[in-house]
Amino acid sequence: MRGFLRGALAALLATLPSAAGAGQLQAGPTLIEITPAASATRLLLRNTGSLPVAAQVRVYAWSQSGGEDQLVPSAQLVVSPPIVELEPGGEQVVRVVRLGPPASGADQTYRVIVDELPRPGRASGRTVNVRLRYVLPVFVRAADAPPPSLACRLDRERSELTCENSGGRAAQFGATRLVNASGLTQTLSDGLFGYVLPTSRRVWVLSDSGRALGGSALRLETRVNGELATLHVQRRP
């Protein structure tokens, strides 16, 4: 279940032109939260096109192992209904329900995946069904979760950036760049860079970006959960 965790935007699964007037699936919010006092929240699906559209909604536990994102089917969070059919201009509320005990000490992390289902019989030699996938983060909040606490290091030999989060809330990295003591910069992302989950570590392979900046004093300039942040980066030879 790796490879489609690069943010909460829709991923286009077919690249050929779609038929005119096709259904257009929208899903939101792009970040879903269940507060400590609640056991459920809502996801809203919309069809902004002129043809009916069907969607499947699934939920996975989200963790990080070996520095990479992992998804595993979970029975602790469920969605209802899991299959939705939307008429043109229609909306459907999908309930996201926590079945397990409330989170304690650290937020629980999940991903909800919304897939547009193909419409049978619509494809021809010149038109195809364009299907969308939304991958949305879900956080079951713990009232006593401490904020993110981050430590980053750069392995120069491997050009790998590793960030560890010892806090109880996930750290979302926005636009991110590496900066050395002379002010030279290496842009890593102009938008969402990724997440470091609670009590987890995330590794990014930078494709020789680590060698582009000289000196030992490096810092990471980013946005953590929407707030500007500067993180010292320990550098390994």
Task: Tell me the pTM.
Answer: 0.84
Tokens 């680590």 sit at which residue?
210
Per-residue DSSP letter, 102? P
Assign 19 a pLDDT band (cuts: 50, 70, 90): very low
Quick check: 179 and 229 in contact, CB under 8 A? no
Residues 85/46, Cβ–Cβ less than 8 Å: no
**CATH code reported for the domain at 10-140:** 2.60.40.10
Task: Kindly state the tokens that stand for 61.
Answer: 């536990």
The token pair at 32 is 């879903």
Residues of the chain with CATH 2.60.40.10: 10-140
Over residues 154-176, the pLDDT tens digits come to 998 888 999 999 999 999 999 99
Residue 14 is predicted with a pLDDT of: 32
Q: Give the CA distances from residue 24 to residues 54, 116, 134, 196, in Å, rounded to whole numbers and listed in that order.
A: 10, 9, 12, 32
| Topology of the domain covering 150-236 | Immunoglobulin-like (2.60.40)
Whole-number average pLDDT of the chain:
87
Average pLDDT over residues 132-155: 97
Termini Cα distance of the chain: 33
Tens-digit pLDDT profile for residues 64-123: 999 999 999 999 999 999 999 999 999 999 999 999 899 999 999 999 999 999 977 655
Least confident window among 5-14, 20-29, 164-173, 205-214: 5-14
Q: For residue 29, what pLDDT is reported?
A: 97
